[in-house]
């Protein structure tokens, strides 16, 4: 059993209070009453958790601190949710939950076990929210078949079968926010390096500006083309797998039904329950196909992604980052443009690092400093190479 000191209890209390603020805000922002109710449910759980740690502090003879403001990471997520909606920040929120899970991982105690049970419930709530567009066919069919089976379908998977209840950290694979952040980072670092390299080789501001714009356009369209090809190829592969699964269902329905029953047996169903759920699903061929695709292939047919959307997003994100070191050369020249370009670029890198910390959970200061260090090193190397080449050519 873990022995909690005052500092650990304070940190746990802070985590839970941040979660309360976050989920209260999400519930207030969300227009869909079903999702808002889910957020209020999680917020209620987090309030119970906070009270656990407040009580622990009192037991230790420490005073419970007043409620303060949430971390920058939480405030940023709330701002993004207000602007883009709660669905846009689902990856970030679940990554935050994953950090909380990791914090509690080494704190074995009855209190933490109870909190862990709630966190597993939160994972299931988020999973169901993620299925808004296509409610789990197994759950729908099981409802009509047997309420007890429905509880089994929606229950967490046994620990160890699929990486501990599909772990929070698997979220974010769709990665819209992630793709934007790293697209901006790529454009910023690569074009800053290019501009610095050209500056090292030439003092002609028109040549530097032309090179910067060329780098922006070339990099943006290259990123867009690469993202389109990658996404389209992936989509075609998935569509091919789905088509093959559909063909197998039509050619061998009994074998596919037995395969689906076997999948549910691995989830802890008895053989009779697994057969009953599979048989019920196969009354609706589309529901059965959807379930097989999700369970057997690990694909979500509703989230194959748009190649054109991915390409456009990559183009815009890269261009936004690549424009930063070029902008000063549009209004100035010489040493002034050079200094302003460096300052703007390093400041933008620091902000990108902070944005990355939203995904990784690392300190915003650490992530920002790391991004600046890497970008500055790349720019310094290309500047020196450009200077050497410029001297050699001259």
- pLDDT of 379 above 50: yes
- pLDDT of 136 above 50: no
* Rg of the chain taking only CA atoms, in angstroms: 26
Q: What is the pLDDT of residue 138?
A: 45
Report pLDDT digits (tens) over 258-286.
888 888 888 788 888 888 888 888 888 78
- pLDDT of 133 above 70: no
For residues 331-354, give the mean pLDDT.
91
320 CB-contact burial (10 Å; exposed 0-12 / middle 13-18 / buried 19+): middle
Q: What is the pLDDT of residue 139?
A: 43
What is the secondary structure of 312-327 as a DSSP string?
A: HHHHHHHHHHHHTTTT
- pLDDT of 166 above 90: no
- pLDDT of 296 above 80: no
- pLDDT of 349 above 90: yes
Report pLDDT digits (tens) over 91-110.
788 777 776 777 776 666 77
Closest CA to 389 of 206, 125, 202: 202
Single pTM value for the model: 0.61
Location of structure tokens 């939203």 = 358
In contact, 300 and 209? CB cutoff 8 Å: no
For residues 161-169, give the mean pLDDT.
38
In contact, 245 and 293? CB cutoff 8 Å: yes
Q: What is the pLDDT of residue 341?
A: 93
Architecture of domain 6-132: Up-down Bundle (1.20)
Per-domain residue ranges of the chain: 6-132, 176-231+307-393, 234-303
- pLDDT of 45 above 50: yes
pLDDT-derived band at 126, boundaries 50, 70, 90: confident
Q: 158-166 contacts: CB < 8 A, separation 24 or more?
A: 158/267, 158/268, 161/266, 161/267, 165/120, 165/123, 166/123, 166/127
**% of the chain with per-residue pLDDT over 90:** 22
Report pLDDT digits (tens) over 215-250.
999 999 998 998 889 888 888 887 787 788 788 888
Q: What is the pLDDT of residue 303?
A: 60
**% of the chain with per-residue pLDDT over 70:** 80
């Amino acid at each position: 059993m873990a022995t909690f000191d005052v500092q650990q209890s304070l940190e746990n209390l802070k985590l839970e209070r941040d979660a309360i603020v976050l989920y209260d805000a999400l519930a207030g922002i969300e227009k869909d009453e079903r999702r808002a109710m889910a957020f209020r449910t999680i917020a209620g759980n987090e309030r119970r958790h906070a009270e656990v740690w407040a009580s622990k502090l009192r037991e230790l003879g420490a005073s419970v601190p007043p409620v303060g403001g949430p971390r920058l990471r939480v405030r940023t997520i709330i701002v993004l949710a207000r602007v883009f909606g709660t669905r846009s920040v689902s990856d970030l929120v679940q990554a935050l939950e994953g950090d909380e899970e990791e914090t509690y991982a080494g704190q074995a105690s009855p209190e933490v076990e109870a909190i862990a049970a709630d966190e597993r419930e939160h994972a299931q709530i988020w999973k169901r929210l993620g299925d808004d567009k296509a409610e789990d066919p197994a759950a729908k069919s099981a409802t009509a078949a047997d309420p007890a089976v429905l509880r089994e379908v929606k229950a967490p998977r046994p620990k160890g079968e699929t990486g501990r209840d599909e772990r929070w950290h698997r979220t974010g694979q769709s990665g819209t926010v992630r793709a934007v952040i790293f697209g901006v980072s790529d454009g910023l670092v690569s074009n800053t390096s290019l501009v610095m390299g050209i500056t090292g080789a030439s003092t002609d501001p028109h040549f530097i500006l032309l090179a910067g714009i060329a780098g922006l356009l070339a990099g943006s369209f290259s990123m867009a083309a690469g993202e389109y090809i990658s996404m389209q190829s992936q989509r075609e592969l998935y569509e091919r797998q789905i088509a093959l699964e559909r063909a197998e269902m039509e050619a061998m329905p009994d074998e596919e039904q037995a395969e689906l029953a076997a999948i549910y047996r691995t989830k802890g169903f008895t053989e009779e329950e697994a057969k009953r759920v599979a048989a019920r699903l196969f009354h609706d061929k589309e529901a059965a196909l959807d379930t097989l695709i999700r369970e057997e292939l690990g694909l979500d047919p509703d989230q194959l992604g748009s190649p054109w959307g991915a390409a456009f997003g990559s183009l815009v994100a890269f261009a936004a980052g690549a424009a930063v070191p070029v902008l000063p050369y549009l209004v100035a020249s010489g040493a002034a443009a050079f200094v302003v370009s460096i300052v703007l670029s390093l400041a933008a890198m620091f902000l990108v690092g902070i944005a990355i910390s939203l995904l990784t959970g690392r300190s915003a200061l650490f992530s920002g400093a790391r991004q600046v260090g890497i970008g500055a090193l790349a720019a310094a190397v290309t500047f020196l190479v450009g200077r050497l080449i410029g001297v050699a050519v001259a």
